[in-house]
Chains A and B, each alone.
Chain A
């Protein structure tokens, strides 16, 4: 498989801010690749560098092996779905979708046919004559998708495309996007700050922080083996123990993280080789299928525990302020290199 996009030590500096700070990565053809990170972490700038809206201050970007520096957006074989959809308000939905063909000089009949086929694919066949302002958010999102795909790009860039949709619609669109990507077999590069979205759709995820990449891995690896405290904390919830609190809890200096669902609240210390921590229950959050317990451990270290709500004995007995005993298996801990 060919490499679709390759960054080699790429930086983008605005005034004095290093928005993207020496990033190297390579994205394979046909991959669903997510760029995950908080706002201002450099993920959107990286996407704009691929689209050609930004030029790198240093480093090299290759798209299918060709150096992209200096190539304007309209000569790149990539298309973008914008966060605000950026539909042309003065054009009908059909003209919006056909725009990419129109500027290439494709004749009117052909571009109408292909735009209609595209609208059909995103299930908006009857909406061609409407103006974008007459569509709902979810429908506009599909139009933006159809418009970006009509030029048959080899790479599709998506900049938080589901950010403006409500939860139900967002989940439905996640499934659709993933199915569409499998069907088309093209590379999707997906920018999001929503870790759930990234985990559920991606083949691989790059976690961005302060203009750098913390880790690139599969969703499973990212969740179970986070390399850095930032990744452990940002992807899902995690209890991160720095070297000081690690020594207090397990007696070793190596920082580690443990997922809240791997910690159990026990009545007595188990006989097995488990880590046992005593603390005071601070708060209980009832979340339906599970409850989240906040426990103050040694030196006041706050530990989050998540347990399924089947065991009613436990939930009934516990009140904030009660002393609790926590236990987890040693192999559930993830030791970190930093």
Chain B
């Protein structure tokens, strides 16, 4: 590291432009969707906008197919998140301290669903459900989503466990608390924000998942699948824009919330002493 050059602290101008250009390129399409969700025109993308309207938002919420798709996605994401919270926490608790034969394999198996391409997970789930003679339904979608939601919770919780002094648990047991009391009064408060962050991320992941859903949904229409179907129906473009905006808001806001939650606890966690 050289500290004698103040010059090095500043990036050259071309690099800055390139960076902002890259960000703009990534987010411009999203901005377009937000803009045209409020456009007066029905199907044309003319610029500048002809006028501003909230008509499409009203229309969207009057459409039963949109509403049922949103409701289905919310239900699936909630169930997948609950399953992920339970399984992810248990997996983290089992794996963070003990060393045993096959531990690495189990860790890999837990993480694999999020590393594998969705299409592989999807096909695998589909053939597994076929083999077990389980017809595609709300439940098969939720189970499919839970496979990759578990990882998110597991990662958050195990990171928190690693930062938490194990002697807290021993102290609780030492003072007369049994396993359940120790979990309720000591472990749960310690991992609460990690659970919240992991849960929110899992919910957001499930809410806009499409690939695995396609294989496990059968005739059920989740919100992302509804959006995909819209591609063949150009007349509904403004409504599609509104729905896309809703998906983004529902997934983005919680992710920011999760980020600020885990960031805030970073320095607090070390104060176990």
Contacts and interface: CB of A to CB of B under 8 A. Distances in A.
B124 interface: no
B182 to A, nearest CB: 8
Contacts of B189: 88, 90
A247 to B, nearest CB: 50
A151 B177 CA distance: 12
Nearest to B189: A90
Nearest to A131: B271
B177 A103 contact: yes
B175 A51 contact: no
Given A84-B273, A90-B189, A74 B177 contact: yes
A6 interface: no
A104 B176 contact: yes
Nearest to B268: A89
B175 A79 contact: yes
Contacts of B173: 52-53, 72-74
A51 B174 contact: yes
Contacts of A73: 170, 173-174
Given A89-B268, A89-B272, A99 B167 contact: no
B270 to A, nearest CB: 9
A30 interface: no
A12 interface: no
A53 B273 contact: no
Contacts of A90: 189-190
A99 B271 contact: no
B271 A147 contact: no
Interface residues of A, number: 30
Nearest to A137: B273
B31 to A, nearest CB: 42
A100 B167 CA distance: 15
Contacts of B185: 88, 99, 102-103
Contacts of B165: 84, 86
Nearest to B170: A53
A277 B188 CA distance: 68
A78 B174 CA distance: 8
A99 B172 contact: yes
A82 to B, nearest CB: 5
A133 interface: yes
A88 B177 contact: no
Interface string B236-267: 00000000000000000000000000000000
B175 A151 contact: yes
Contacts of A78: 174
A82 B171 contact: yes
A249 to B, nearest CB: 49
Interface in A221-247: none
Q: Counting chain B CB atoms within 10 Å of each CB, which of A52, A74, A84 scores highest?
A: A74
A82 B272 contact: no
A85 interface: yes
A80 interface: yes
B175 A89 contact: no
A13 to B, nearest CB: 16
Contact of B271 (A72, A80, A89): A89
A73 B177 CA distance: 9
4 shortest A-B CB distances, which residue pairs?
Answer: A86-B167, A86-B171, A100-B175, A103-B177
21 contacts: A52-B174, A53-B174, A72-B173, A74-B173, A74-B174, A74-B176, A74-B177, A82-B167, A84-B273, A85-B273, A86-B171, A87-B171, A87-B273, A88-B168, A88-B172, A90-B190, A99-B175, A100-B175, A103-B172, A104-B176, A148-B175
Interface of A: 51-53, 72-74, 78-80, 82-90, 99-100, 102-104, 132-133, 140, 147-148, 151, 164
Given A86-B165, A99-B185, 19 more contacts: A51-B170, A53-B173, A53-B174, A72-B173, A74-B173, A74-B177, A80-B171, A84-B165, A84-B167, A87-B273, A88-B168, A88-B189, A100-B176, A102-B185, A103-B172, A103-B176, A103-B185, A148-B174, A164-B273
